[in-house]
Amino acid sequence: MAMVWRIILLLHLGYSGAELYQRGINESYTEQEERLLSLLLRLQQEEYYDTLLVYGEECPFHSLSRSLEIPAVMVSLGGTNYDWNFGSLTLILSCGFSAEREENHRTLMKLQLNRRIIHLQKDINVESVCNYYAKKEQYNIAVVREDFKNSQVIYACRFFQDPNFAEISSSKRHPIYIENFQNMNKRPIKTMADVLAPRSMPYVDKNTGELKLMGYVANLISNFAQRLNATLQFEVLKNETNFQHILEKVRSDQLDLGITMHAALQKTPLDTASYPFMVTTYCLMLQIPAKLPYNKVYEMIVDPLVLGIILLLFCILSVLLIYGRNRSWQDLSLANVLLNDVSLRGLLGQSFPFPLNSNRHLKLVFIILCFASVLMTTMYDAYLQSFFTNPPSGPHVHTYKDLGRFNQKLAITAIEVKTLKNINNSHFHEVKQDDIVVFDDWQELIRLRDNFNLNYSFIVTGDRWSSYAEQQKIFQKPLFYLSNDLCFTRMAFFSIPLRRYLPYRHLFEDHILRQNEFGLVGYWQAHSFFDMVRLGITPLEDLSHPKPFEKSIIMEDVSRILQFYLAGMVMSILCFLLELAVAKWSSWRGKRM
């Protein structure tokens, strides 16, 4: 029993000692770091963070991180060797402006926009600290000095004003972190345009004499520069330069963004690609088959199934006429059925002898015969006149193998061939190599496609086809159509190339979403053809080169009818000669008997 009381007494003394020790720590903490703790709690209320990342050796931030009930990561060496996989709601604390020495580019990208608090010594200039982080393209920076508990002053970096920081009292509720890029004060945005109509089309402003851009991609970038109060410093891609040159300059950080688009088909790293600007198709632009010649129209209107039904109806009416005349099957024979003069002329809409005193059954057959003749002649006359007015087109391409069968060559650039092979596109492998013409000069192919060259078929995106379709409305007859059955991909994601550490990437992606949501991108695309005409890029003329209109039917147009007529006459003569031969043979045989 005495032993139990001793254990209870020792536990009580240990608990009291720990309580006194903790109370001393709290008192010490209240004196030295209460201001910093209140600052961290204030920042958590303004914008919630769930992780602390502390760079550098021992400073007040280390002890504060133990007091807050959130996870904290200590990086005393100033950098990590792994990809940052924590949430984006991270507050970064640095024990000195050079304590953060992160080199992992994935971690730098993920933490580029996060808020930072820098703990400084008294003798370090705040302006130099802001310039240091500006070179690293990290802009959400706040600085506190060692005497923060007495001065209660927070230095917040403001990068587009002079001086480049602001002094904020912790007792006032002024915002510490702001969106610095809402107003860039005419700072330049470096870019390059691919001058590929209708994405970006250069022109000279008549009022100012400045070189400007027009097009649905150029308008997107221009509006973004106006939104940030920045200037658009652009250069134009040279004629002999491949448009991949823009992507290379963006990846090497020579440009902020490119006034062009690149597809997800190219497996471009997402570090240098924006949120998808548009989702479109990537299909074949095929030639519309030529109209059938007029001499083949007669074959088109005679469908084999309908012709079979007409012959069956002819035989039925012949049998009914034979039976209805005498109400007996005495005259029924194969010759009387197949060569029934009344039924034949009746179905062709011609007059035929009507027997006197015909019975009711025969009259009913004649009514059916007249109704069938009116129906058939009206139907074929309507078909004939319609097809002569607008003859139907020939057979269309339905598979990739049909390209060779219809002598259509697919024009494609070497870049596209390389891309489709790299992604192992299954549809592209279905096209025979003999049906492909590869162009090393992509601009030459664009010129051929813009001129609707009928020697080739082309590949086109859905957004570009919309302007082609609009242009063909002024043609007397369209030359190309977009095949929705032959597509290398139906969902091509096109993005704007961006520099890897672009600090206002989030604003640009928000701008893309808003422009699409407001319908401006669709409006620009719908007016692309008219913009191209206004700038003189596309002529407002009929490129279909229609043939002169024939005012009358020529002999060639009825050549098939004449052939059918000649074949019928030959068959009739042969039948007549056969009848004479049979009659003569029967007479000769009767004399011998």
pLDDT band at 243 (very low <50, low <70, confident <90, very high): confident
| 491 and 576 together in one domain | no
State the pLDDT at residue 481. Answer: 92
**The residue to which tokens 């007669």 are assigned:** 298
Mean pLDDT of the 466-479 span: 90
In a domain, 62, yes or no: yes
Q: How many percent of the chain have pLDDT more than 70?
A: 90
Instruction: Tell whether 169 and 35 lie within a shared domain.
Output: yes
Query: In this predicted structure, what is the pLDDT of residue 381?
Result: 83
CATH code where residue 155 lies: 3.40.50
Residue 590, in any domain of the structure? no
Whole-number pLDDT of residue 499: 92
For 139, phi and psi rounded to 5 degrees?
A: -120, -15
Choose between 76 and 243: higher pLDDT.
76
| CATH code where residue 429 lies | 3.40.190.10
Which of 13-17, 361-365, 567-571 tops mean pLDDT? 567-571
* pLDDT (mean) for 368-391: 82
Closest CA to 375 of 444, 306, 458, 281: 306
pLDDT at 322 over 70: yes
Does 579 map to a domain?
A: yes
Tokens representing 336 are 């009387």
What is the per-residue pLDDT for 9?
A: 42
For 379-407, give one letter per residue: b (16+ CB within 10 A) or e. ebeebeeebeeebeeeeebeebeebeeee
Choice between 107 and 18, residue whose per-residue pLDDT is larger: 107
* One domain, residues 165 and 232: no
Q: Mark whether 357 and 218 lie in a shared domain.
A: no
pLDDT tens per residue, range 252-280:
989 999 999 888 655 556 788 898 999 99
Answer yes or no: are the C-beta atoms of 273 and 498 closer than 8 Å.
yes
Question: Which of 495, 522, 539 is the last residue before a domain boundary?
Answer: 495
Residue 20 falls inside a structural domain: no
Between 317 and 411, where is the model more confident? 411
Contact between 119 and 95 under an 8 Å Cβ cutoff? The reply is: yes
In SS3 terms, 200-220 reads as CEEEECCCCCCEEEECHHHHH
- State the DSSP code for 1: -
Q: Among 135, 155, 178, which residue terminates a domain?
A: 178
Judge whether residue 10 has pLDDT over 50.
no
Q: Which domain holds residue 404?
A: 279-287+393-495
**pLDDT band per the 50, 70, 90 thresholds, residue 240:** low
pLDDT band at 22 (very low <50, low <70, confident <90, very high): very low
* pLDDT band at residue 516 using 50, 70 and 90 as cut-offs: very high
- Pair 442, 470 in one domain: yes
User: Which residues, in sequence order, are CB contacts of 215 under 8 Å at separation 6+?
Assistant: 197, 198, 199, 200, 201, 524, 528, 531
| Same domain assignment for residues 246 and 330 | no
pLDDT at 550: 60
Within 8 A by CB and 6+ apart from 221, the residues are: 189, 191, 213, 232, 257, 259, 496
Instruction: From 124, 146, 178, give the residue that closes a domain.
Output: 178
**Does residue 490 share a domain with residue 424?**
yes
Helix (H) or strand (E) holding 309: helix 304-326
* The pLDDT value given to residue 507: 94
Q: Residue 19: what pLDDT?
A: 42
Residues 6 or more apart in contact with residue 385 via CB below 8 angstroms: none
Q: What is the pLDDT of residue 12?
A: 45
In a domain? residue 593: no
How many other CB atoms are there within 10 angstroms of residue 200's CB atom? 28
Indicate the DSSP class of residue 391: P
Same domain, 43 and 162: yes
Strand partners, 284: 459, 483
Q: Three-state DSSP class for 499?
A: coil
Q: Is 6's pLDDT higher than 60?
A: no
pLDDT tens figures, 177-211:
988 898 898 899 999 998 888 999 999 888 888 88
**pLDDT, mean over the chain:** 83
Q: Largest Cα–Cα distance in the chain?
A: 159
Q: How many domains does the chain fold into?
A: 5
If residue 413 lies in a helix (H) or strand (E), which one and from where to where? strand 409-413
Mean pLDDT comparison of 2-16, 344-358, 362-376, highest-scoring range: 362-376
**From 19-28, 330-339, 518-527, 578-587, the region with the lowest mean pLDDT:** 19-28
> Whole-angstrom Cα distance, residue 200 to residue 212?
10
What is the per-residue pLDDT for 396? 84
Q: Which amino acid is at 359?
A: N
Tokens standing for residue 264: 């997800």
pLDDT band at 31 (very low <50, low <70, confident <90, very high): very low
Same-domain status, 202 and 128: no
Least confident segment among 325-329, 376-380, 570-574: 325-329
Distance from the Cα of residue 168 to its chain's centroid? 48
Q: Looking at residue 269, what is its pLDDT?
A: 67
Helices (H) and strands (E) in the chain, counts: 21, 18
Residue 458 has pLDDT above 90, yes or no: yes
What was the pLDDT predicted at 411?
93
Regarding whether 59 and 127 lie in a shared domain, the answer is yes
Q: Is residue 11 part of a domain?
A: no
Answer yes or no: is pLDDT of 145 > 90.
no
Residues 74 and 93 in one domain: yes
DSSP string over 85-121: -S-S-EEEEESSTT------HHHHHHTTTS-EEEEE-
Provide the pLDDT for residue 165: 87
The model's pTM is 0.77
Residue 488 lies in a domain: yes
CA pair distance 59, 61, nearest whole angstrom: 5
Residue 365 in any domain: the answer is yes
Predicted confidence (pLDDT) per residue in 567-581, tens digit: 888 988 888 888 888
pLDDT value at 92 more than 50: yes
Of 118, 504, 109, 440, give the one whose Cα is nearest residue 270: 109
Instruction: Check pLDDT > 90 for residue 460.
Output: yes
Distance CA 398, CA 486 (A): 7
pLDDT band at 290 (very low <50, low <70, confident <90, very high): confident
Tell me: do 53 and 101 sit in the same domain. yes
